[in-house]
């Protein structure tokens, strides 16, 4: 059975677990916390980052590398679009979610309000949070509003890019931030659609249970 290392509250771990669930792959989740630098974990994840995957003799780190591998190896339920053009766009959305949206929603909001408190890293920098919400996020949300579909997912069936776009907003929602429905109706509805997908909803249920324990 494949092993997914990492705690589910990391958006990158959430992404890999959601893809495993969407693909209906049995997996074991090994609860490794961020910044674990034991020799055993470094053997699986050379930078000591979560997530990491083990599948037989293969060890691979980085959520995008892992999700691409899972789709190559277990293609029955596809989690990438088919055409080269759509794949290029899907890679862009995945990268954009994993970098820009993660920088804003996760580092700029969730880390400040949740991770700092829960892991004894000091008080939230509310000035940074306000600047993120009021100045830095709106242009990105305007962009998303212009490119997201009014119905369904980015490329038909739910795919990795959908998870990468919505994941950072899920993290921010745990600490009280959600986009404004009137200003960004398409984005808001899209986030809810991805969250309501059966496999994603299961992941969020498990996350909610862990959050309660850590709070
Ligand atoms: N690009 C990587 C990023 C992974 C990452 O930054 N993980 C964080 C947790 S959210 C981590 O393990 N941080 C600990 C560290 O950097 O030592 C991916 O997509 O998997």
Atom nearest to 16 CA in ligand 1 = 20
The Cα 18–Cα 30 span in angstroms is 15
Scan for tokens 């890019």, then name that residue. Answer: 161
The pLDDT tens digits for 138-152 are 999 999 999 999 999
Classify 189 as helix, strand or coil: helix
Q: Which residue segments constitute the domains of the chain, with CATH numbers given?
A: 2-73 (3.40.30.10), 84-214 (1.20.1050.10)
Cα–ligand 1 centroid distance for 43 (angstroms): 16
Q: Which of 17, 34, 41, 115 to mutate to test the pocket of ligand 1 (most atoms within 8 A of CB)?
A: 34
Q: Is the dihedral of CA 98, 104, 107, 112 positive or negative?
A: negative
Residue 215 has pLDDT above 70, yes or no: no
Structure tokens, 73: 């190896």
Residue 38 Cα to ligand 1 midpoint, Å, equals: 15
Q: How far is the CA of 35 from the centre of ligand 1 (A)?
A: 9
Sequence-distant (6+) residues with CB within 8 A of 140 are 100, 101, 104
How is residue 104 annotated by DSSP? Answer: I
CA 51 to ligand 1 center in whole angstroms: 7
Residue 51 in contact with ligand 1 by CB distance below 6 A: yes
User: 165-181: per-residue pLDDT in tens?
Assistant: 999 999 999 999 999 99
Q: How high is the mean pLDDT of the chain? A: 95
């Amino acid at each position: 059975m494949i092993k997914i290392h990492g705690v589910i509250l990391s958006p990158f771990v959430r992404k890999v677990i959601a893809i495993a669930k969407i693909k209906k792959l049995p997996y074991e989740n090994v609860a490794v916390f961020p910044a674990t630098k034991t020799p055993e974990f470094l053997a699986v994840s050379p930078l000591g980052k979560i997530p990491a995957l083990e599948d037989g003799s293969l060890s691979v780190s980085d959520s995008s590398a892992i999700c691409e591998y899972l789709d190559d190896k277990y293609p029955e339920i596809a989690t990438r679009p088919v055409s080269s053009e759509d794949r290029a766009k899907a890679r862009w959305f995945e990268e954009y979610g994993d970098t820009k949206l993660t920088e804003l929603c996760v580092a700029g909001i969730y880390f400040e309000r949740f991770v700092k408190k829960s892991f004894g890293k000091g008080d939230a920098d509310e000035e940074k949070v306000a600047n993120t919400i009021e100045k830095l996020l709106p242009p990105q949300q305007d962009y998303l509003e212009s490119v997201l579909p009014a119905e369904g997912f980015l490329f038909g069936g739910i795919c990795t890019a959908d998870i990468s776009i919505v994941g950072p907003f899920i993290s921010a929602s745990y600490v009280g931030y959600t986009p404004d429905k009137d200003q960004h109706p398409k984005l808001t509805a899209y986030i809810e659609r991805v969250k309501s997908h059966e496999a994603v909803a299961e992941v969020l249920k498990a996350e909610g249970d862990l959050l309660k324990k850590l709070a």
